[in-house]
Structure 1
Amino acid sequence: MTVLSSPPFACLDIEDLPADPQWLHQQPHPVIALGESSHANADIVIADDAELQLLAARIEQHPLAALTLVQVLRAVEMLPLPAAMTVESLAYASLQSGSEFRQWLQAREATPREIHSPDSTPAIVVHRQGDRVQALLNRPQYRNSITVEMRDALIELFELVLIDNSIRQLHLSGRGACFSVGGELREFGLATDPSLAHWIRSCHNPGRLLSRCADRVHVHVHSACLGSGIELPAFAGRLSASPGSFFQLPELAFGLIPGAGGCVSIARRIGRQRTAWMALSGKKINARQARQWGLIDAICDSVDTVD
């Protein structure tokens, strides 16, 4: 736990919040509002003390990541998408060199290493029929975690769509028990130079590429969609999910924030406050709630049932 001299968050009743929207930007830490309103001048709105206790415990355990998260969400709200992703990446880089992430790495003990499939099968299987491309994440043995290998395969896939205007639609889904559990934790810590990691996210980022061809991309997810396993799909022009899908942003527990574009892609689907709630609480939401919030566009059995 990081010990700071000032309180790691502020909690006020909705009625006591200042009306000036600039007030929130002047607060360095998360501002939690108690009450019911989607227009509160706060980072997150909750209804009861039980939820406050959960949030307080998580924020107090990772105050630097929590502070960084809400500052990023505030800053990117009105920025163009490319600039917003740059802000997220710079903030993520600062946390990569921070004490909270370092403590998580030390507690894990295992040495970071790149994860490769023992066979020669491609990380993503791609089939084309006419003007439609069907792509499947193909690392079910790793629950389709976003490894370096998978990241590079996604970059190649989205570059193909951007280059080839004859591709009318890309349908992306995943093989195996779930769509993706997000970043491969065994690879966390490989980037020892945060500035170089920022360069990689700036120049080799599947989310940036997907955002540029989003109107031609339909992603269908199923079961677990964690971290970048929902951050990346949220950039798609159409995002559907199987009935048993669930969504979670676990990065705060590592001393980090969503770093695959989620502070931008998810916030632009469900809003800044709900994104903050997902990241600060670490709670899962199911497909029905995700549909109600607008995180996904449809609930269906497969990618083919909504065309």
Structure 2
Amino acid sequence: MYHTIKTELKDNTLFIYINRPDKLNALNQQVMSELALAIDEVYSNKDIRSAVITGEGDKAFVAGADISEFLALSDQQGAELAKKGHVVFKHIEDCPKPVIAAVNGFALGGGCELAMACHFRIAATNAKFGQPEVNLGLIPGYGGTQRLTALIGKGKALELMMTGDRISAEEALQWGLVNYVVAPADLLPKATELLQKIHTKAPLAIARVIKCANASQNYAVDGFEIELNEFGACFATKDMQEGASAFIQKRPAVFTGE
């Protein structure tokens, strides 16, 4: 089905591998199209409760966009290319099921932007992050200027984007770009550990947490109003009744996503 990515469903988590290791998993239009299809499956498949995006091999998560595709583009075509990236990455960001980026190696340019579109990030100790587009006479085009600023603050984001520097996994942790740094061998196990914990929670509540958190970065909407409405909507779910009853009865809740 896929040529540039691989998928594996394990314990209700879909593992999505960007599979161009000979190109350091660089993003091209085929990768973006296939990634969009994989995320569609996360949305629609009831057996999938979460996803992990990572890179094939141990050198790179995604080392950037495939620059060979850029040389023949006009300004209008460049904008269209960026628009496609925006759509795919927003689809990841808005996914009602948790999506973790497991960053193994280089996450540069479009790779860093892909990681930031995920709900949070775990980095291997060998991970490197950066937005080096200025070295090519470009800027981040898949939402990087916005998400990086939201995650690490305007000053640090501007420094990273204007210098084109790379930062280590430990620096990314200090700056708030990643949640955890682990040994490469522990990367996917750590993601699995976190997701298995999340799987014990109410799926509809998880989806609403994601929606409300995303609203905090959308100045076109009132995030507080969305939170109020989503909080109220929880009371119409069987999961809220189950969660409250289980708490009172001092037993583990069994959520059904209803």
TM-score by length of 1: 0.57
1:164 deviates by 3.2
Count the aligned residue pairs: 187
* Contact map agreement 2:133 2:139 (CA 8 A) in 1: yes
Q: 1:244 aligns with which of 122, 126, 135?
A: 126
For the pair 1:227 / 2:79, whether they are aligned, the reply is no
Distance 1:129 1:302, change over 3 A: same
Match of 2:14 among 126, 133, 143: 133
State the AA in 2 paired with 1:257: I
1:305 has 2:185 as partner: no
SS in 1 for 2:42: helix
Q: CA deviation at 1:201?
A: 3.5
Pairing 1:98-247 to 2, within 5 Å after superposition:
122-176=3-57, 177-192=59-74, 194-203=75-84, 205-213=87-95, 215-247=97-129
Shift of 1:129: 3.1
Maintained 8 Å contact 1:131/1:169: yes
Which position in structure 1 is the counterpart of 2:211? none
Judging changes above 3 Å, is the alpha-carbon distance between structure 1 residues 280 and 290 closer, same or farther for their aligned structure 2 residues? same
**SS at the partner of 2:178?**
coil
Aligned equivalents of 1:271, 1:210: Cα separation in 2: 22
Cα deviation for residue 215 of structure 1 reads 5.0
Q: Does 1:255 align with 2:137?
A: yes
In the aligned structure 2, how far is the partner of 1:172 from the partner of 1:155? Answer: 12
Relative contact order: is structure 1 or structure 2 higher (C-alpha 8 Å, sep ≥ 6)? 1
Which of 173, 178, 185 is matched with 1:291 structurally? 173
Query: 1:197 Cα shift?
Result: 3.9
CA distance in 2, matches of 1:287, 1:130: 28
Gaps of at least 5 residues in structure 1 are 1-119
TM-score (norm 2): 0.67
Equivalents in 2 of 1:260, 1:170: separation in Å? 20
The answer to whether the Cα contact below 8 Å between 1:222 and 1:244 also exists between their aligned partners in 2 is: yes
String of CA shifts for 1:17-75, please: whole Å, max 9, x gaps.
Answer: xxxxxxxxxxxxxxxxxxxxxxxxxxxxxxxxxxxxxxxxxxxxxxxxxxxxxxxxxxx
SS in 2 for 1:299: strand
The answer to whether the 8 Å contact 1:206/1:232 transfers is no
SS of the aligned residue for 2:9 comes to strand
Greater percentage in helix:
2
Amino acid at match of 1:239: R
- Name the aligned partner's letter for residue 234 of structure 1: M
Pairwise CA RMSD of aligned residues?
A: 2.0
**Closer/same/farther in 2, CA of residues 253 and 214 from structure 1, 3 Å limit:** farther
Mind listing any 5+ residue stretches in structure 2 that lack a counterpart? 194-258
In 1, distance between residues paired with 2:14 and 2:118? 15
